A and B are shown apart, each in its own frame.
Chain A
Amino acid sequence: MLDATQSRLPDAPGIGYKPQHYAAILADPGPVRWLEIHAENYMGEGGRPLAQLRALAERFPISVHGVGLSIGGEGPLDPDHLDRLARLLGWLNPASFSEHLAWSTHDVGFLNDLLPLPYTEPTLVRVADHVDQVQTRLGRRMLLENPSTYLAFDESEMSETEFLREIARRTGCGLLLDVNNVFVSATNQKTDPRAYIDGFPLELVGEIHLGGHDEDADEHGQPLLIDSHGAPVVDPVWALYARTVDRGGRRPTLIEWDNDVPDWPVLAAEAARAGALLAEAPA
Chain B
Amino acid sequence: MSQSAFATALLAPDAPTPPGLSDPEGRPAGKRFDIYRNNVVTSLTAALETAFPVVRKLVGPTNFKLLAGAFLRRHPPRTPVLMLYGADLPGFLEAWPPARTLGYLPDIARLEQALREAYHAADAAPLDPTRLAALAPDALMEVRFTLAPAFRLIRSPWPIHAIWRYNTEPGCPKPGPKPQDVAVLRDGYDPEPILLPDGAVAFLAALATGETLGTAMETATAEAPEFDLGPLLAQLLATGTITELETHA
Contact residues of A with B, CB < 8 Å?
40-41, 43-51, 67-70, 73-74, 78, 80-81, 84, 103-113, 115-116, 118, 150-155, 188-191, 218-220, 222, 224, 226
Contacts and interface: CB of A to CB of B under 8 A. Distances in A.
Interface in B1-37: 1-4, 6-8, 10-11, 20-25, 27, 29-33, 35-36
Contacts of A226: 35
Contacts of A43: 81, 83
A43 B81 CA distance: 7
Contacts of A111: 7, 10-11, 40, 76
Given A43-B83, A47-B123, A104-B80, A112 B43 contact: yes
B130 interface: no
A188 B36 CA distance: 14
Contacts of B245: none
A69 B44 CA distance: 17
Contacts of B75: 109
Contact of A106 (B4, B120, B150, B189): B4
A228 B128 CA distance: 49
B10 A224 contact: no
20 contacts: A44-B81, A44-B121, A45-B121, A48-B119, A69-B80, A74-B2, A81-B81, A103-B3, A106-B6, A107-B4, A111-B11, A115-B10, A116-B36, A151-B23, A151-B29, A151-B33, A152-B21, A153-B22, A155-B20, A218-B30
Given A84-B81, A104-B80, A111-B76, 6 more contacts: A46-B149, A47-B121, A106-B7, A112-B82, A113-B36, A154-B21
B77 interface: yes
Contacts of B25: 220, 222
B1 A153 contact: yes
A224 B32 contact: yes
B63 interface: no
B121 to A, nearest CB: 6
User: Which of A46, A105, A108 counts the most B-chain CB atoms under 10 A from its CB?
Assistant: A46
Interface string B181-210: 000001001100000000000000000000
Interface string B143-159: 00000011000000000
B77 A45 contact: no
Contact of A41 (B1, B10, B79, B83): B83
A131 to B, nearest CB: 17
Given A46-B122, A48-B119, A155-B20, A113 B43 contact: yes
Contacts of A219: 30-31
Contacts of A105: 80
B17 to A, nearest CB: 9
B48 to A, nearest CB: 11
Contacts, number: 143
Contact of A110 (B8, B23, B79, B190): B79
B23 A44 contact: no
Given A80-B79, A153-B20, A188 B32 contact: yes
B39 interface: yes
B201 to A, nearest CB: 24
A152 B24 contact: yes
Nearest to B79: A110
B178 interface: no
Contact of B40 (A103, A112, A155): A112
Interface in B77-112: 77-83
A48 B121 CA distance: 10
Contacts of B21: 151-154
Given A110-B80, A151-B23, A44 B120 contact: yes
A112 B47 contact: yes
A18 to B, nearest CB: 13
B21 to A, nearest CB: 5
A108 B11 contact: yes
Contacts of B27: 220
B32 A73 contact: no
Interface string B210-235: 00000000000000000000000000
Nearest to B76: A109
A50 B248 CA distance: 36
Contact of B24 (A50, A112, A113, A189): A189
Contacts of A189: 24
